[in-house]
Structure 1
């Protein structure tokens, strides 16, 4: 096949935008999924001539009907799917566990964990039944899949759970040439990490400015993972600002 086909969720900004642009630049056709059509189209507008291989598909990944519609569109447009980057995610302001409203907890779980499950489930069905069979799923785990920040019970819990999802997909996909890996990102330079420049709370309670790195390097890492043959897999990869203090968070 001269062109392979990918879905990137949360493609309207940040890590998802960088991944979508890297894949488009690498010759892939890419369906960009996210809640805001204007943001998706803005990403496509940055792709230059590769924009002709992009589809903007507004999608709430926490909504099963919306996810099914996304993958039905992929099947109708392309007939197959070779790569899914499960990137969409959300968070709530940091705060003590006793003050976290159930509604805020549920919203983070619905997007970060349930959304990743729903997209992986739909991708798995498509990859299992297409010919040639197989494909690759990469989940965005985050440094928080390893160690938490203070006051982050909802986000950290979902990101630890993503690691379990990654492992199950990798195991259950073996008979069908469906491989699964995880990218754990620390302080990529996106709107989400702009607060790092002003100082964020550390484990000992102090506020500290943290370094960030160019999010384009995340995109190139995703492209490398996507381009691997299906008999090889990067199971887990961590990419972070070199001087990020996560190794010593405790």
Structure 2
């Protein structure tokens, strides 16, 4: 991908950075010149992402972080400030999927609905809550939250997941209004069907499962993580200076109509 952004001297914080969209975006920030904190519950995956960033000459901090825990989020951001001195960008990307099931079959215990809410929604809230003061101290910045195509339409068998992703958009739009005058731009990106480990789990890794999801894409293929990365970096750049509270859908036409 041709590099069009110069983030030299900037600092980015990326959650869910161990694979897929998060890893691709962390690498793209580094290639654009930013120092990057990669924060994820998987220490092994975090270290691999950090290694890939170091290979391209980037500055990186790897921090274990469970976004559903306030103390983890605050500690990861504190270490970012201690290491790099400030925060300019945040990509709140950590999230989990839901097994396909109608709403009456979704368990209301921690392993199902409550866990989805804890990570996909509470995690987003905690990140915003602790990132905004750092951006205010820095005189502004940009935050991008990962929602989903499931955040702008209903999807059968995904009531719990879709509810968290709809809520992310509502939180994004409201928080954007809270801080627009302070030079903080908060937006969301809504990926469609993207070729990531999460999507491989969702399809069951079978040719039939793959064909089923690709059939939902008017373009006839899954998206690439880098295609979401391009949107995230745009939303963090000065090119998007007038973009506030937007939910940018990047989904190959899946939600059109």
Please give the TM-score of this superposition, normalised by the length of structure 1: 0.88
Structure 1 partner of 2:256: 247
Q: 1:119 pairs with 121, 124, 127, which one?
A: 127
Counterpart CA distance in 1 for 2:71 and 2:152 is: 32
Q: 1:198 pairs with 201, 207, 212, which one?
A: 207
Q: 2:231 pairs with 206, 209, 221, which one?
A: 221
Unaligned 5+ runs, structure 2: 1-6, 216-220
1:44-71 CA-partner distances (Å, limit 9, x unpaired): 2223544541111110000111111111
Q: Is the 8 A contact 2:16 2:40 kept in 1?
A: yes
1:167 is displaced (CA, Å) by 0.7
Q: Is the 8 A contact 1:178 1:230 kept in 2?
A: no
Structure 2 partner of 1:27: 33
Counterpart CA distance in 1 for 2:176 and 2:140 is: 12
Indicate yes or no: 2:50 matched with 1:44. Answer: yes
Q: How many residues align?
A: 240
Deviates more, 1:96-105 or 1:137-146: 96-105
Relative to structure 1, the CA distance from residue 177 to residue 208 in structure 2 (aligned partners, 3 Å threshold; closer, same or farther) is closer
1:11 is displaced (CA, Å) by 0.2
1:236 is displaced (CA, Å) by 2.7
Q: 1:237 pairs with 227, 230, 248, which one?
A: 248
1:170-217 CA-partner distances (Å, limit 9, x unpaired): 10012321111111100111112232873459xxxxx56432022112
Question: CA-atom RMSD, angstroms?
Answer: 2.3
* Other structure's SS at 1:91 match: coil
Structure 1 partner of 2:86: 80
Unaligned 5+ runs, structure 1: 202-206
1:79 is displaced (CA, Å) by 2.4
Relative to structure 1, the CA distance from residue 198 to residue 68 in structure 2 (aligned partners, 3 Å threshold; closer, same or farther) is same
Structure 2 partner of 1:67: 73
| Runs of 4+ residues deviating >4 angstroms | none
Please give the TM-score of this superposition, normalised by the length of structure 2: 0.86
1:149 is displaced (CA, Å) by 1.9
Counterpart CA distance in 2 for 1:161 and 1:247 is: 20
Q: Any residues of structure 2 matched to 1:170-209 within 5 Å, and which?
A: 170-194=176-200, 195=203, 198-199=207-208, 207=212, 209=214
1:4-48 CA-partner distances (Å, limit 9, x unpaired): 001010000111011111111111111001011110111122235
Structure 2 partner of 1:106: 114
Q: 1:138 pairs with 124, 141, 144, which one?
A: 144
